[in-house]
Amino acid sequence: MHLPIEHTPLRVDVVRAAPESAGVIGFPVTTDGTVPRGLGLSRKALAQHGFTGARGATLVVPSSAKATVVAIGVGDAAAVTPAVLRDAAAALARAVPGWAHVATSLAHVSSYPGVDQAEAAQAVVEGVRLATYRFLALKADRSGAPSIDALSLIVPAKAAAQASAGVERGLVIADAVRFARDLINTPPVHLTATRLADIAIEVATAAGLDVEVWDERDLVEQRCNGLLNVNRGSTEPARLITLRYRPRGARGHVALVGKGVMYDSGGISLKPSDASHAQMKMDMSGAAAVLATLITLPALGCRSAVTGYMVCTDNMPSGSALKLGDVITYRNGRTAEIHNTDAEGRLILADALILAEESKPDAIVDIATLTGACMAALGPKMAGVIGNDQALIDRVLDSSKHTDELVWQLPLHRPYRKMLDSQVADLRNIGGPLGGAITAALFLAEFVGEVPWAHLDIAGPMGVDADEGWLTKGGTAFGTRLLIDVVTRHEPRRRTR
């Protein structure tokens, strides 16, 4: 199968009134205040149909003479945010999956204190574009998927410029997320580390980025021994992919590091034979998020330099596989004893973190489907963030709120470092049965030096079992929108602990 996968593009127009070609017109309705006149129904009539305006609710009002009208609940007017509008747009897209042209009214956005027209337009575009995503590349029958290919946003003339800017940004970001989802949902037989490297070269070059790929010989020469050792059990070679975005007059430099385990069997520490195995194609979600983030930056006019590192390999059992008790010597001289080969993500991330630290960026952010412990602590809808710099962590948390990609801070509790003590090496790669998300972060902290660093553990929200809001069943590409927000709003700061 050839990637990137082609998707039907979404045409978005900013208009003052719904065009005649629109088959559906959606109207946001709050639980309080006035009902949009264009809906043609009073609040009493809506209530008679069981519609109260609750967030995410929809009421379809068909008509043979004109466009179908859809009421979309957005809840309390005072609590409407871009996240609410994103989910509302997703609900509209799912309520009318058979229509090619949908219009939705943003005429009353100015009455919502939490959003402006640009934010509203961006959120609506993202909601529609992401809710209609389906991975159909391997299906013979591709019918039944949402088929919205035209969207009209109804806004006042004075807000058209703002809305148009939001539309442009929303399309760039949503299509990047869709691209990342394609990568994450592709089975490992179709997407190896070498194939991902080829794709990275193709899409990054097209975006105007510099791309460098290290093969086995380069990895040996550069002493990337974490990646080489994890790759020992696989017949597919490893790759380390570096992407560089360098705008003229860059204000600062951020390094992003993504875990790219194309398939994780657990290695010699084999995972149990259950449903988790089928999800392990998603263990490269961090690398997909980094690639998707980097290719948006020229179009979004990011003013900071950004370097992305993708560390890519399988983790497989074989006669040559990494063994328990083996010791890895890293590029910076640190040594790690292996006590569990299923804790492989930290071993390969260490290589990229060392390289990132050597470039002396303002900040390093890594993203990885790293630990079941984080999923156990925070559940399936929330990522954990841990780091050595509170200002950087606060920036990540702020971007989490801005993008509605939920993140919760966990402590980098230094006294737990002794749980990683080894008798034969500088540290071992696991710290015991408790506090696994924290000890994993403490392992990574050994490789970032004094550079401000934040670690995103996205094991929980890497995939979902059913459509919900802007998420669709399968790989979510969680963290892509968050990373884009972090780097495009980056301002070099003094470090604080």
C-alpha angle 365-370-373 in degrees, rounded to nearest 5? 120
Provide the CA 28 distance to its chain's centre, in angstroms.
Answer: 27
Residue type for position 492: P
Beta bridge partners of 385: 409, 456
Q: Which two tokens stand for residue 404?
A: 């509605």
Can you give the pLDDT at residue 251? 92
Q: Which two tokens stand for residue 136?
A: 């159909």
For residue 165, give the DSSP letter.
H
Task: Enumerate domains of the chain plus CATH numbers.
Answer: 11-157 (3.40.220.10), 182-488 (3.40.630.10)
Burial 425-462 (b: 16+ CB within 10 A, else e): bbbbbbbeeebbbbbbbbbbbbbbbebbbbbbbbbbbb
Q: Which two tokens stand for residue 132?
A: 């209609």
Longest dimension (CA), the chain: 79
Which tens digits make up the pLDDT trace of 258-287?
Answer: 999 999 999 999 998 777 777 899 999 999
Q: Which two tokens stand for residue 489?
A: 């709003």
Note down pLDDT in tens along the chain; length 497 residues: 455 666 788 999 999 999 989 999 999 999 998 999 888 899 999 999 999 999 999 999 877 778 899 999 999 999 999 999 999 999 999 998 777 788 888 888 877 888 999 999 999 999 999 999 999 888 888 776 667 889 999 999 999 999 999 999 999 999 999 999 999 999 999 999 999 999 999 999 999 999 999 999 999 999 999 999 999 999 999 999 999 999 999 999 999 999 999 999 999 999 987 777 778 999 999 999 999 999 999 999 999 999 999 999 999 999 999 999 999 999 999 999 999 999 999 999 999 999 999 999 999 999 999 999 999 999 999 999 999 999 999 999 999 999 999 999 999 999 999 999 999 999 999 999 999 999 999 999 999 999 999 999 999 999 999 999 999 999 999 999 999 999 999 998 755 44
> Is residue 62 reached through a cis peptide bond, with omega within 30 degrees of 0 on the bond before it?
no
Strand extents, DSSP E, 396-477 = 407-409, 427-428, 453-457, 463-464, 474-475
Which tens digits make up the pLDDT trace of 281-316?
Answer: 999 999 999 999 999 999 999 999 999 999 999 999
What is the model's pTM?
A: 0.96
Q: Which two tokens stand for residue 374?
A: 């984080």
For the annotated catalytic residues, the residue numbers are: 271, 346
Question: How far apart are alpha carbons 335 and 120 in whole angstroms?
Answer: 50
